Amino acid sequence: MDRGILVVFEGIDGSGKSTQREMLAGWLAEQGARCAMLAQPSDSLAGRMLRRATHAHRRLSPETELALFLRDRREQARSVIRPLLAQGVVVLLDRHYLSSVAYQGALGLDPEEILRRCIRFSPLADVTFLFDIEPNAALARIRKHRSADPFERLDYLVIVRRMYLEWVARIPNAVVVNAAAEGRVIAAQIRETVGRLVTTRGLGSGQNGLRCAGEDPIPGCVRPSGRSSLHPV
Ligand code: TYD
């Protein structure tokens, strides 16, 4: 069995999951747990193709988009996530296959089929936090900082949210978080759940014997542009 812990953050854009993920990383470092911040899409070739299309405000066909998300996910699972889990690292993953079920399912692709394909090769998360929020409130948060990208349209996000809430029941170890609640309340809820896992696996206070301060990043776990990083302890 893997010694590490896979924690997944899911939710529509603007739900606040990235902020909470960073807060959790800081807290885990204080506990002496070694942790890696990863995201999907990742920095694989397929992931970069997806990001280029998003930044050019272009949407690919639903089928092409799904094929690229799946290729990216498979590659990241094999070359980055599984090796980290085997080394006792707490992996904080921004989006996993429930994103494909909700976002590509909302475009008319079969969510059952997406789930079935992803489960075949994806590592099972120890906990998945679904950040649930009204799409209007989420878009208002986004627009405070930047303009919305092609995934961030109200009518689309309304369906994506519905898909998330419908399909989360099929994800083992999933917790729905009220993302409209105060940040510190959400942070406490997340710490309690993840803290319990860290204690059970003996990964805190350097007990795992892995401290990464001064070490090189684990190969494949890169730091550029904030997409993925190894959090120092
Ligand atoms: P996002 O997490 O917002 O990345 P960034 O912060 O770099 O923009 O992901 C980009 C978009 O990709 C997001 O709107 C959701 C979408 N997405 C899917 O449609 N399907 C998927 O399987 C994944 C992982 C993401």
Q: Could you identify the atom of ligand 1 that is nearest to the CA of residue 50?
A: 12
**Ligand 1 center to residue 58 CA distance, Å?**
13
Enter the CATH code of domain 5-206.
3.40.50.300
C-alpha closest to that of 206 among 217, 214, 198: 198
Nearest atom in ligand 1 to the alpha carbon of residue 100 is: 22
Q: What is the pLDDT of residue 150?
A: 74
Residues with CB under 6 A from ligand 1: 13, 40-41, 54, 69, 94-95, 99-100, 103-104, 151
SS3 20: helix
Question: What gap in Å lies between CA 73 and CA 66, rounded to an integer?
Answer: 10
Our mutation pick for probing the ligand 1 site, out of 8, 10, 13, counting the most ligand atoms within 8 A of Cβ, is: 13
Closest-lying ligand 1 atom to the alpha carbon of residue 40: 24
- How many residues belong to the chain? 233
Name the E strands within the chain.
Answer: 5-11, 35-39, 90-94, 127-132, 174-178, 229-231
* Residue 202: Cβ within 10 Å count: 12
Helix (H, G, I), strand (E, B) or coil at 14: coil
Q: Where are the domains of the chain?
A: 5-206
Q: What is the bridge-based pairing of β-strands 229-231 and 35-39?
A: antiparallel
Residue 152 is predicted with a pLDDT of 82
Helix, strand, or coil (residue 120): helix
Contact 228, 38 (CB under 8 A): yes
Q: Residue whose CA is closest, atom 11 of ligand 1? A: 151
The pLDDT of residue 5:
98
Q: Which atom of ligand 1 lies nearest, measured to the CA of 97? A: 22
pLDDT tens, residue order, the chain (233 aa) = 568 999 999 999 999 999 999 999 999 999 999 999 999 999 999 999 999 998 888 889 999 999 999 999 999 999 999 999 999 999 999 999 999 999 999 999 999 999 999 999 999 999 999 999 999 999 999 998 888 787 789 999 999 999 999 999 999 999 999 999 999 999 999 999 999 999 999 998 765 433 333 334 433 333 333 345 554 43
pLDDT for residue 206? 63
Please give the Cα distance from 195 to 189 (Å, whole number): 10
- Residue 85 Cα, ligand 1 centroid: separation in angstroms? 23
Structure tokens at 173: 């170890």
Residue written as token pair 């204080």 = 30
Q: What is the pLDDT of residue 228?
A: 54
